[in-house]
A = this chain, B = another copy of it.
Amino acid sequence: MPSFAVTPGGTPAAESGHSVGVVEARRARFDAPLELACGQSLPAYELAYETYGTLDQARSNAVLVCHALNASHHVAGCYADNPEDIGWWDNMVGPGKPLDTNRYFVIGVNNLGSCFGSTGPTSINPATGRSWGADFPLVTVEDWVDAQARLADMLGIRQFAAVMGGSLGGMQALAWAIRYPDRIRHALVIAAAPNLSAQNIAFNEVARQAIMTDPDFHDGRFETFDTKPRRGLRVARMIGHITYLSDEQMEEKFGRALREGLRFSFAPEFQIESYLRHQGEKFADYYDANTYLRITKALDYFDPAIATGGDLARALAPATCKFLVVAFTTDWRFAPARSRQIVKALVDNRHDVSYAEVIASHGHDAFLLDDPRYLAVVRAYFERIAAEGSATTAKAAP
């Protein structure tokens, strides 16, 4: 593959595009209270965010990228003081990339309750002067979307060209379409589901139990004890990882390969064991346990059809945007059948929906990876949005 010099705003890039280069995280502060689904209210909060590309004069080319479980607002590019810290969707977002920052103004935002810059359990609770910790309220996908809408207000964006996300991010795109139908022209719902299955909830609950029964958890007040529930976080992450990869992919990548022969001990013998332990260790280093608990709960709670007696079509009826739904054949966390439920509900409403079921071996993680067919689908969809951009704008301005 040829390499490219970074030329921000430069000439059309080659097929694979190039990086947005050095980016800066910002923080927006909101002083109006936010009413949460749980009944509590956050008196004030901050959202960490990044932007790439330029907002056009009509303010019509903004795309909001929503993140999944353990990601953040750092979607693309890298930081000046840490060039290794590449955004989690850098293969998707950049000049000449499928979500082309030469055309679109892209916003990455860290969800409320996270531990990467937005207000969450690791932030200072103004009422006590100490970290929120276990006192941080349980937040929902809808709460996130409401907070994101205020960020859009602050940035002067009345309507997004698109809201986009994979996995839990796709659920946020769905919630946007239902909750703010006039503020979003397109929703890209990738590797998502209309709600969690019993099995999905079960995996989340085991992960939570691993964390909550770790003696270092101290009912979520571990910071006071100058510790963190590392054991629980490790196990939680290991469980998660199994569900992100497909059986096939794990077999291909690790199979029954050993590190150095059978040793008849409980030290890691199979390579898959070392891999999982390593992933668990890394996660325990950087992730906050109270955040993990809350994000898994937000996943469990997400169920737009609960308001319509389980009727997903009725739940999606208020949406007016167009949809791209993408699923991956070997994703067993949110299998294609779950995406098809979304598509069916949209079709029942005669909403405009494109559906791609991508043959990919990487399971749920495929939404983050460099699958040429997948990236081509997203690229084509954004080209379509750009092509219809002026028409839609004309329609929106009577």
User: Is A272's beta carbon under 8 Å from chain B?
Assistant: yes
**Assembly CA distance A195 to B256 (angstroms):** 9
User: Is A39's beta carbon under 8 Å from chain B?
Assistant: yes
A138-B265, A256-B303, A300-B270 known; A209-B195 Cβ under 8 A: no
User: Is A206's beta carbon under 8 Å from chain B?
Assistant: yes
Q: Which of B195, B196, B264 contacts A138 (CB under 8 A)?
A: B264
User: Is A304's beta carbon under 8 Å from chain B?
Assistant: no
A251-B197 in contact (CB<8A) = yes
User: Is A253's beta carbon under 8 Å from chain B?
Assistant: yes
User: Is A280's beta carbon under 8 Å from chain B?
Assistant: yes
**Assembly CA distance A195 to B214 (angstroms):** 32
Chain A residues numbered 85-102 whose CB sits less than 8 Å from any CB in chain B: none
Selected interface stretch from A13-21, A71-79, A179-187, A234-242: A234-242
User: Nearest Cβ distance between residue A146 and chain B, in whole angstroms?
Assistant: 16
B215-A253 in contact (CB<8A) = no
A198-B234 in contact (CB<8A) = no
Residues of B within 8 A of A210 (CB): 210, 235
User: Is A322's beta carbon under 8 Å from chain B?
Assistant: no
Chain A residues numbered 195-239 whose CB sits less than 8 Å from any CB in chain B: 195-199, 201-203, 205-206, 208-210, 212-215, 231, 234-235, 238-239
Say which size band chain A's interface belongs to.
35 or more
A264-B138, A301-B262 known; A270-B206 Cβ under 8 A: no
Residues of B within 8 A of A254 (CB): 198
User: Nearest Cβ distance between residue A129 and chain B, in whole angstroms?
Assistant: 25
**Assembly CA distance A269 to B198 (angstroms):** 12
Most buried by B among A39, A199, A247, A273: A199
User: Is A5's beta carbon under 8 Å from chain B?
Assistant: no
User: Is A293's beta carbon under 8 Å from chain B?
Assistant: yes
Q: Which of B137, B242, B265, B300 contacts A202 (CB under 8 A)?
A: B242
Q: Which of B197, B264, B270 contacts A38 (CB under 8 A)?
A: B264
Most buried by B among A39, A266, A277, A297: A266
Residues of B within 8 A of A205 (CB): 238, 268, 270, 272-273, 276-277
User: Nearest Cβ distance between residue A126 and chain B, in whole angstroms?
Assistant: 21
A202-B272, A205-B272, A213-B235 known; A196-B256 Cβ under 8 A: yes
**Assembly CA distance A59 to B256 (angstroms):** 41
A209-B197 in contact (CB<8A) = no
Most buried by B among A212, A239, A276, A303: A239
Q: Can you offer 23 A-B residue contacts whose CB atoms are under 8 A?
A: A39-B264, A138-B264, A197-B255, A197-B256, A198-B247, A198-B251, A198-B254, A199-B247, A199-B250, A199-B251, A202-B242, A202-B273, A205-B238, A205-B270, A205-B273, A208-B266, A209-B235, A209-B276, A212-B266, A213-B235, A214-B231, A266-B293, A269-B300
